[in-house]
Homo-oligomer: A and B are copies of this chain.
């Protein structure tokens, strides 16, 4: 009897907020390996806000997931069988197999990972993976922080935001994180070493941000959009830079984005740059080197929220979009 592969496929496109009913669990047979192919048993699946965009039919930077297709996503796993000379059974690999327990690859885009006791496999989906690289590219390459500047990052306890803040501290900036609720706010200051935290759920966003940024804001690493971003616009210093990484507050909105403070873009001569980490592959080695040494020096801390079983991925994904996760959202698909 052949091995079974459980997968989450897109059942329907969401209208506004994603529902669990937009997904469906299916079970298929793992097909026999052909020459050159590798079978990977996935251990961790990464859940990330960009996946919301792939659920829409509308133009996005990457093609949509089609109805009935397996949801996309980064995974780490171990080679279970190989007919490809470059991979051996037991190799740890980083792939892009999506929301499923097994993946088959011809080896292209599959990256062998070093196995070290220092560095857990899951970090290749987190601080050393796409979120970490995204933080590095947006902060270091796009915003070019200078010592003493004030950096604000939204979704600050999240997978990207928490790296942005710790990187900015390593570059001698004053770092203010915006997060939802006292628990996340305490975490970014007390565990991650941010200078200040602003709780966007406390109801005094503008006043609290003013207090936290007495010298204004030089850099905004923007993950959220919406009212949080608008409030930041109103505090920008001359020649401020905005790395536009995500607008998670907008992804489920059907209303237009509204900005009271958009005029600051000209008045303060602001550069705003939308970016995708995939366009900066030439910088990944440099970024990974810096992130790895920060991690090994204990200066790059992280948390993970781990859901268990592929069947729980939809619920965990929706929770993440609502900010219910704490740190990098993963789904554990099998034991290491």
Contacts and interface: CB of A to CB of B under 8 A. Distances in A.
Contacts of A272: 265, 271-273
Interface string A86-107: 0000000000000000000000
Copies of this polypeptide in the complex: 2
A128 B47 CA distance: 54
A195 to B, nearest CB: 25
Contact of A259 (B259, B266, B269, B279): B259
A214 to B, nearest CB: 16
B269 A61 contact: yes
Given A256-B258, A258-B256, A269-B61, A263 B276 contact: no
A187 interface: no
Interface in A250-290: 250, 256-260, 262-276, 279
Given A247-B263, A266-B275, A266-B276, 13 more contacts: A53-B263, A59-B267, A225-B262, A247-B266, A257-B258, A257-B262, A258-B258, A265-B272, A269-B273, A269-B276, A269-B279, A271-B274, A272-B272
Interface in A207-231: 225, 230
A275 B267 contact: no
Interface string A36-77: 000000000000000001000001110000000000000000
A149 to B, nearest CB: 18
Contacts of A265: 244, 272, 274
A262 B268 CA distance: 20
A283 to B, nearest CB: 15
5 contacts: A59-B267, A61-B266, A61-B268, A257-B258, A270-B273
A164 interface: no
A271 B269 contact: no
Best-buried of A60, A61, A256, A266 by chain B (most CB within 10 Å): A266
